[in-house]
Copies of this chain bind each other. A is one copy, B any other.
Amino acid sequence: MSLGEFDLIAKYFDRPARRAALGIGDDCALLAVPPGMQLATSCDMLVEGRHFLSTVAPERLGHKALAVNLSDLAACGAEPLAFTLALALPHADEIFLDGFSRGLLALADVHGCELIGGDTTRGPLNICISVFGLVPVAGAGALLRSGAQVGDDLYVSGVLGDARLALEVVRGTRSLADGDFDAVLRALEKPQPRVALGVALRGVASSAIDVSDGLLGDLHHVLQRSGVDAVVEVDALPCSVVLRAQPLTVQRLCSLTGGDDYELLFTAPPQHAQQVAAAGIASGVALTRIGRIVGRSGAASAAAGVAQTTLVDHDGRAVVHADASFDHFRT
């Protein structure tokens, strides 16, 4: 192999530090945090065959690896600052590295998020990114999962379910015309983290999470931490025209439990409805009200402390759907 570890870093990843006090090349990177701000951090590990298909273009993989992390910052309302990349590769494949680094750094540049360090090693393909953002300590601070209140409206950004529909086509359980498949594959492989929306929702939303494991599963995290229940109007769930053309059972499977959407799911009090709409317009993202937060129902669930989501159709009738959110150790 001609390309060594330090050459690899220098060729594909090392760029001069701009926002960081100290970037790549020392034992640690250094980040200054301005007064009144705190650091938000998250990390995601992506494994071949589990988080991405072996057929994915390296450029899209680079994009997605950072996008899923930026989506976590968005869910907190944090402004991206920097990230580190740890990368295990079976061998120093320059075609892969060229595409991967281009996709990664292009998205980083869009969000002013700087690569400040990391690690490279030989091993089964594994991508682990840690991302750093800034969020005010007080006032309109970080969006948390724990803030949903009874009476709040429940919203989601963009459309749901296209990524899962793409996966079903790849698995051979559904088929689509080429153009439609390209569109949903793009949703799977090149998600757009809702960073500007997250920042705009600070002080407006009462809670937020990004939809990575499926709407119902991620909503459950919010309800569980907030101690509330929810009613979701399944007919209100925003879907693309491609997904809308699928049978209703497929639409619901994909939009309710699909995962890999990287949209923001958030709550806000009804009196913030206009500010919510303004945040959507300012960030150029469609927002849809999909339900509301209600008090903990039923003695049984309250005793067990388990949050409940009730699904209803446009006439308010209960809809039955098996919750099957994604769990990496159960599927």
Chain A: residues with CB nearer than 8 A to chain B? 1, 3-6, 8, 21-22, 25-33, 35, 38-45, 47-48, 50-51, 72-73, 75-76, 78, 84, 86-89, 91-92, 116-124, 126, 128, 130, 132-133, 135, 137, 142, 144-146, 208-210, 225, 327-330
Contact = CB atoms under 8 A, between A and B. Distances in A.
Given A73-B28, A121-B47, A22 B329 contact: no
A27 B262 CA distance: 12
B27 A75 contact: yes
A209 B27 contact: yes
Given A86-B128, A225-B25, A8 B123 contact: no
Contacts of A210: 27
10 A-B pairs with least C-beta separation = A47-B123, A27-B75, A45-B86, A124-B124, A28-B40, A128-B128, A33-B33, A28-B76, A130-B130, A27-B72
Nearest to A8: B329
Contacts of A122: 47, 50, 328-329
A142 B28 contact: yes
Given A1-B329, A30-B135, 14 more contacts: A4-B330, A5-B329, A26-B146, A27-B42, A27-B72, A27-B208, A28-B42, A28-B75, A31-B38, A41-B116, A45-B123, A47-B121, A50-B123, A91-B329
A78 B123 CA distance: 30
18 contacts: A26-B146, A27-B208, A27-B209, A28-B75, A28-B76, A29-B40, A35-B35, A39-B39, A41-B132, A43-B84, A43-B86, A43-B128, A47-B121, A84-B130, A92-B329, A119-B128, A120-B329, A124-B126
A39 B326 CA distance: 34
B45 A39 contact: no
A121 B49 CA distance: 12
A38 B210 CA distance: 29
Given A27-B209, A33-B38, A144-B22, A47 B88 contact: yes
Given A119-B43, A144-B22, A328 B5 contact: yes
A5 B27 CA distance: 32
Contacts of A38: 21, 30-33
Given A88-B126, A126-B88, A128-B86, A45 B133 contact: no
A118 B69 CA distance: 11
Contacts of A144: 22, 26
B330 A118 contact: no
B5 A330 contact: yes
Contacts of A29: 40-42
B45 A119 contact: yes
B28 A41 contact: yes
